[in-house]
Amino acid sequence: VRFPEDLEDDNTTFNPEYSHQVFGDDEVAFGYKGLKILLYYIAGNLSTFFRIEYTSKVNEKFDCVDADDVESKIREIIPPGFCTNTDDFVSLLEKEVNFKPFGMLLHTYSIHNEEAGEDITYQIYKADMTCPGFREYHERLQTFLMWFIETASFIDVDDERWNYFLVFEKYNKDGATLFATVGYMTVYNYYVYPDKTRPRVSQMLVLPPFQGEGHGAQLLETVHRYYMSSPTVLDITAEDPSENYVKLRDFVLVKLCQDLVCFSPVKLMQGFSQEMVTEAQQKLKINKQHTRRVYEILRLRATNMGDAEQSRSYRLDVKRRLISPYKKKQRELAKMRRCLRPEEMTNQLNQIDLNMQREQLEESFQQLVSDYRRVLERLAQA
């Protein structure tokens, strides 16, 4: 909500992707007809207004059952101090002009908005719990995780090893410049013996009204650039990354790596090298596993897949990596042959069909190439 009229505007409304963390695996609230759970957030500081509407509700006296206590379930995830009537919320909205982003400005960028017919400016800040008011703001911000990340949990904000990166949109209201929350990322700094840290991305969310505009890539690249300048950072990882996050990371890391000397077309065609691992880690804080994916994507770009020899060379190079789990299985089988009885061995072999392995390998390769092509298409448009 930026203006009072937004309260009645369906265009500013968006629905949750998940509700099982609040309402159970069936995502059901029992005992109501026409139930609406309404959560309004002021665009900048995320002050909250919560209300429930329904046309009818079961009654213990007449129906012998109780309706679910929807309000208490919502109260468990939104912090206290929220508004319960429109007038209080609108009066808070009038004070929004005083809200300013928390922490240190890291990056400013613009994106052209077709609907508005103008460039809109966005800023990325790094904050921590020492910023006045940030703890309370973060309590409101993290409530979005419950609706948009399938296995979300709230973090221990008293642990000083957390870093917070926030994206804001700048907009005008009555001649004043205001800020709207776009998304954020939390990063935990793990200790690596003897004197390094390994920042690990824990949570990343761009709010639905802003998705598909490139904010995730801007945020992830900014976070990488922030840590790249630190001599104590070993590399940057992610905790249980989603499929969408992996695609985003591929794009950002390829964009960062493509100008490194070790990724020149000539060197790419010579195969994956220790030089690539070393340079990517030292200059960009990228680990070996992610560097290998970057190499495969950039080598695909440098390869003429219409040329039989180049195409075959690329396919074999990627499949050699993909086949390693199968080779591990074969080594385990060799051990089994030495210690299992023939009937036990037959039973084990029946579980591992070589033809099926080849089919799975080819399927994995084709899926990978398809994903890589999408990264390269996006890179060409960037």
Q: Which residues are catalytic?
A: 239
Rounded distance, CA 131 to CA 176, Å?
23
Q: Do the Cβ atoms of 165 and 124 come closer than 8 Å?
A: yes
Amino acid at 147: W
Q: Determine how many CB atoms are found less than 10 A away from the CB of residue 172.
A: 8
What phi and psi values does residue 381 have, to the nearest 5 degrees? -90, -15
| Whole-number Å distance between alpha carbons of 105 and 287 | 27
Structure-token pair, residue 376? 């390269």
Name residue 187's beta-bridge partners: 163, 201
**Which candidate, 208, 214, 124, places its Cα nearest to that of 169?**
124
How far apart CA 364 and CA 369 sit, in angstroms, is: 9
Q: Is the peptide bond before 101 cis (omega within 30 degrees of 0)?
A: no
One-letter identity of residue 293: R
User: Shortest CA distance to 257 belongs to which of 281, 225, 234, 280?
Assistant: 280
163, containing H or E segment? strand 162-173
169 DSSP β-pair partners: 122, 180
Phi, then psi, of 279 in degrees rounded to 5: -65, -40
Q: In the numeric block, which tokens belong to residue 218?
A: 């801007």
Q: How far apart are CA 143 and CA 151, in angstroms?
A: 13
Place of tokens 């964009």: 255
Q: Give dist(CA 182, CA 257) in Å, integer.
A: 27
